[in-house]
Amino acid sequence: MKSLKDSNIRWGIIGLGNIANKFATDLLTVKDAELYAVASRTQQKANDFADKHHATKAYSSYKALVNDKNIDAVYIATPHSMHKENTLLCLAKGIAVLCEKPFAMNTDEVESMIAAATANNTLLMEGLWTYFLPHYNFVLNELMAKTYGNLLKVEADFGFTREFTQEARLFNKSLGGGSLLDIGIYPIFAALTTLGVPETITADATFFANGADSSCSMVFNYKNNAVALLKSTLLASTPSEAVFYCQQGNIKINSGFNSPSTVTLITDTKEELISFNGNTHGYDHQINHFNKLLRQGKKESHIMTFNFSRQLIETLDSVRALINLKY
């Protein structure tokens, strides 16, 4: 394997939808990295994406891309149901994988991906970009330092509307569509990263006619009497905020809490708005972390660990069981 210390990390992208476009745009701002190859199911789409984002190679199949020996890392941005298959394809070739969230459809799939990464001694990480954003790390540090005392309650929501169509990935149950896996993962992430794994969970959901969940409301209860009230919905636009209620004050991540946002610190005596200025979509923070791991020869992130990915998918599985959502 070539040394990456003094050369660009050559990225490939599998699946060329909206998120892949944002990722590719931010990759262009990352030092010592380049978009080398992209792959879609059609050559024309691959060509168009490559032209737009200045990729060297454009492939009409994922297998062709992973057979390119010049690729160091692959970002997988295909529908959820394809994450396991696409990840295993890359790992078998010894190519490092950053796989978009959710890691896979269920715990069994995630475990098979982790096992393959271990067996092939190859870096693998779930691409949940929020964990690497400056505003979110500021909040985590404030909570860890107990600046406002112990955390008592988390409230987090994520909701937007789109016109329902059977063909759209967002609503396609067989592809993992629906509110829980697509956006409900973010409120759950907010609870797990601040309060940890809950002792008990209650959940309710509504469904589209095709069986995909249209909304999901969850309550996480903890041994120390802390609670997390979480919601995802594709039926209405919601504030999409995360509020952390502490003993001596509250920390609120404002609208779009999962993406680059502002933070409001609230106490009895004052309210302070903190901005986190950036010139990108925010994916560059995740890319820089992954690139550093790759250059250091690491096989697992110390932030987005395998154990955390396990906790996340196991929690999603628990919620699915409660609302009787089966793929």
Sign of CA dihedral 326, 207, 236, 154: negative
pLDDT, tens digit (0-9, with 9 covering 90-100), for 62-81: 999 999 999 999 999 999 99
Q: What are the residue ranges spanned by the domains of the chain?
A: 9-128, 134-275
3-class SS at 300? Answer: coil
Task: Give the pLDDT confidence of 110-160 residue by residue, as tens digits.
Answer: 999 999 999 999 999 999 999 999 999 999 999 999 999 999 999 999 999
Q: Which CATH class name applies to 9-128?
A: alpha beta
Decide the pairing of beta strands 242-246 and 227-233. unpaired
- Residue-wise pLDDT for 171-220, tens only, equals 999 999 999 999 999 999 999 999 999 999 999 999 999 999 999 999 99
The answer on pLDDT for 3 being more than 70 is no
This prediction has a pTM of 0.96
Specify the CATH superfamily of domain 134-275.
Dihydrodipicolinate Reductase; domain 2 (3.30.360.10)
In order of 36, 53, 65, the CA distances from 13 in angstroms are: 9, 11, 9
**295 CB burial (10 A radius; 0-12, 13-18, 19+):** middle
Distance between CA 325 and CA 174 in Å, rounded?
A: 12
Which residue reads 């923070």 in tokens? 285
